[in-house]
Amino acid sequence: MTTQAENTSSGLMAKAVKEGIFAGFIAFGMFLLYVGIETYQNIDNQLVWRTRWGLLAVFVVVAAIGRFLTVAFFKPMVDRRKLAKAKTGVLEISSEKSFFHKHFLKIALIALLLYPIGSVMLFGPQGSLKYVDNFGIQILIYVMLAWGLNIVVGLAGLLDLGYVAFYAVGAYSYALLSANFGLSFWVLLPLAGILAGFWGVILGFPVLRLRGDYLAIVTLAFGEIIRLILINWTDVTRGTFGISGIAKASVFGIWSFDVSSPNYFPKAMGLATSSAWYKIFLFYIILALCLITAYVTIRLRRMPIGRAWEALREDEIACRSLGINTVATKLTAFATGAMFGGFAGSFFATRQGFVSPESFVFLESAVILAIVVLGGMGSLTGIAIAAVVMVGGTELLREMEFLKLIFGPDFTPELYRMLLFGLAMIIVMLFKPRGFVGSREPTAFLKERKAVSGSFTKEGHG
Amino acid sequence: MAGENLLKVQGVETYYGNIRALSGVDVEVNKGEIVSLIGANGAGKSTLMMTICGSPQAKTGQVIFDGEDITRLPTHLIARKRIAQSPEGRRIFPRMTVLENLQMGANLDNLKYFKEDVEKIFVLFPRLKERQSQRGGTLSGGEQQMLSIGRALMARPKLLLLDEPSLGLAPLIVKGIFEAIKKLNQEEGLTVFLVEQNAFAALKLSDRAYVMVNGRVTMSGSGKELLANPEVRAAYLEGGRH
């Protein structure tokens, strides 16, 4: 018995070593030209090349060791766990959930509410800027955008590759109307949402008959059209220069965040003059906007229109034969999704104080869509987690100074952002093909059933 | 009650592009009847069913339902006239639960009668009650067919259109489903228009039947008459039933 076990384990080691070496060779072949050789311009402005054997060696060794560890330790561990689960017969989804799992939403909400206060207490107003602005606000904007896109892609199943267009419409609506007519943030926020929703309907009409790939191509084109208009309609949008000096949001018109203003908020509150207070204020605005988005999505899912969206995703022909007006259903999905994109856009404009077409490139659409897919289409919790991992992760890369010690002083981790993004997507799709939260929570229950499945009663399903 | 005309298809011609799928079909369904349409593959049975539902629409001819011309109405408005359909291939919503699927059927009344109707469906198909919180895609073929019929019934239809309910199902399950249809007809007076390849089972169940060949109705009569008809026997029964 023991000899047999030793036999298999030594066999496993041999296999792992072999596969590790093989992976090293493949990595060498793949990265030889990309990493091993670098081109640069010398002092005479000539393009010359030099080799980076050290860096190439790091890549090869990482690939080889990674493969070795995967085959030797990680896979057997996963297999053992699967086997153990199969033996005990415990299903992966058990009704007994841990305290953390049960109250995840409440804990997350309280943590978010306390987050800016905590970072001010820990790092002081100036030190908290990085955490509140770069991490907090940045992530929440993407959460909101992804939740908005989730209505179109996750619920209604309409693949939209040009979602950033609505974000742009929202941002420019705010920027232009505030610059030209002096309207305040609180007036323009709903207005930007309505305008973006209107554009959602405009996009929706021509693409009503399209599905899947064809729809994706047309929405992609729509996103590019909006961006090109913003670049070329220089009289209004000032082209690539963008619009700067966009008015800050005020505290409901009572206090202002302009230092020169007589009712400057920190002064009125007796706080030190710092831009951190404005960022904290913005953090709470975007948090509120996110919560509104989530609330509306949850409510809509239980209303006829939300059910119709989900049914439309599943089967359009069946929908029609059940008396659902698929035209109206698609248009409302586009309009609702676009509206939230517009809200996020106007928030983005007031936060940056500057908008230019460069903020609304296709890559943004792709990132938002990636977050929706990674999180699990239709799942709000999953999408929020995906946004934290993806956006927070790339922000974190900027902080990784120690990487310079490994890869040399001119290594800029931000440049590898997309590489890591892609890697993360591949890994998640391999292990969780339906995203972080792949299961869909049902919305229909009969009374007697409700008592039985306690895990579904938490949100007051009716 | 019986004898009063509910659905009347008059000289309907339907085209797929340039190809004529139906050439001048006349079919009538009276209130309280079970009428079936039998025929070989590609005869145009399903096309007729879809034409009644308005997708594709008939090029010439008329579809009259309850005294109203519905030929040019869009599909979803036809459905709102209470013509419910269990389409070919069942077309349930795979990621939604059984209960949610049934809910989609009850959308026309905004779920007003949802609870009482669900109970009725569960009495008719007890299997669906056991599976109510399971996702549609995880059901067996027979259960999916039950769900598809149940979903159609949730709309409180005046006319139920069934397209090949026996497709790909074991004989015992087919028997159960046909018994359920019979029960609905006798107890609730539901009018049913049935398209079937399983001619024997369909003719036994039906009050009247039509035989379709190459986009035309070639024969019609009561179920019993057609069962006894030598031509029908040769073409659709003896070859198929052992």
Which residue is it, tokens 């292990």? A431
Domain boundary, last residue among A34, A65, A83: A83
Res. A90: pLDDT tops 60: no
User: Contacts of residue A318 in chain B, CB cutoff 8 Å?
Assistant: 87, 91-93
Q: Is residue A387 part of a domain?
A: no
Any B CB within 8 A of A320 CB:
yes
> Which residues of A341-408 form beta strands (DSSP E)?
354-355
If asked whether residues A73 and A18 sit together in one domain, one would say yes
Q: What pLDDT does B201 receive? A: 87
Interface of B with A in 93-112 (CB under 8 A): 93-97, 99-100, 102-105, 107-108, 110-111
- pLDDT bin (cut points 50, 70, 90) of residue A8 is low
Q: For A168-234, what is the HEC assignment? A: HHHHHHHHHHHHHHCCCHHHHHHHHHHHHHHHHHHHHCCCCCCCHHHHHHHHHHHHHHHHHHHHHCH
The tens digit of pLDDT for each residue in B153-174 reads 999 999 999 999 888 888 888 9
Inter-chain residue contact B87 with A317, CB threshold 8 Å: yes
Residues of B in contact with A317 (CB under 8 A): 55, 87, 91
**In terms of domains, do A7 and A115 share one?**
no
Which tens digit of pLDDT belongs to each residue from B19-59?
A: 999 999 999 999 999 999 998 888 889 999 999 999 889 99
> What Cα–Cα distance (Å) separates residue A255 from each residue in A68, A163, A248, A281, B40?
61, 34, 11, 12, 78
Query: A335 with A250, same domain?
Result: yes
Chain A contact probe: residue of B133, B149, B159 with most A CBs at under 10 A: B133
* Whether residue A126 sits in one domain with residue A20: no
Q: How many CB atoms lie within 10 A of CB A11?
A: 10
* pLDDT at A98 (0 to 100): 64
Residues A130, A60 share a domain: no
Percent of chain B at pLDDT > 70 equals 97
Q: Among A8-17, A49-58, A267-276, A440-449, which range has the highest average pLDDT? A: A49-58
Q: Which residue of B has its CA nearest to A456?
A: B133
Q: Are residues A74 and A147 in the same domain?
A: no
Chain A closest CA to B174's CA: distance in Å? Answer: 22
Q: What is the model's pLDDT at position B238?
A: 67
Say whether residue A328 is in contact with chain B using an 8 A CB cutoff: no
Residues of B in contact with A304 (CB under 8 A): 107, 110-111
- Of all residues in chain B, the one with the smallest CA distance to A314 is B93
Closest-CA residue to B207 (of B217, B194, B195, B222): B222
Same domain for A355 and A319: yes
Query: Which residue of chain A is at minimal alpha-carbon distance from B154?
Result: A322
Sheet holding B19-30, edge to edge: B19-30, B5-16, B60-65, B68-69
Q: What is the pLDDT of residues A108-159, one digit of tens each?
A: 888 888 887 888 778 777 777 778 888 889 899 999 999 999 999 989 888 8
Q: Do the beta carbons of residue B61 and residue B214 sit within 8 Å? A: no
Is residue A67 one of the residues assigned to a domain? yes
Pair A41, A188 in one domain = no
The per-residue pLDDT of chain A, averaged, comes to 82
SS (H, E, C) B62-90: EEEECCEECCCCCHHHHHHCCEEEECCCC
Q: Is the pLDDT of residue A164 over 90?
A: yes
Domain that holds residue A325: 110-360
Among residues A314, A337, A360, the one where a domain terminates is A360
Q: Mark whether A202 and A351 lie in a shared domain.
A: yes
Kindly give the pairing relationship between strand A243-244 and strand B19-30.
unpaired
Q: Which CATH number is A334's domain given?
A: 1.10.3470
Span A87-116, average pLDDT: 70
- The answer to which of A49-53, A438-442, B152-156 has the lowest mean pLDDT is A438-442
Q: How confident is the model over A311-332, as a mean pLDDT?
A: 89
Whether residue A461 has pLDDT greater than 60: no
The reply to whether A31 and A165 lie within a common domain is no
Q: Does A93 touch chain B (CB under 8 A)?
A: no
Calpha distance A371→A343 (Å, rounded): 19
A313 within domain boundaries: yes
Backbone torsions φ then ψ of A413, nearest 5 degrees: -60, -30
Within 13 A of B28's CA, how many CA atoms are on the CB side? 10
Beta pairing class for B34-39 and B83-86: unpaired
Contact A304 B79 (CB under 8 A): no
Cβ of residue B155 closer than 8 Å to a chain A Cβ: yes
Shared domain check, A126 and A70: no
- B60 membership: H or E segment, kind and range: strand B60-65
Report the residue of B80, B92, B104 to disrupt the A interface, i.e. the one with the largest count of A CBs within 10 Å: B104
What domain count does chain A have? Answer: 2
Sequence letter at residue A335: A
> Which secondary-structure segment (H or E) carries B228?
helix B223-228
Are A142 and A64 found together in one domain?
no
Last residue of a domain, one of A335, A360, A385: A360
Please, which pLDDT band fits residue A95 given cuts at 50, 70 and 90? low
From chain A, pick out residues whose CB is under 8 angstroms from the CB of B53.
321
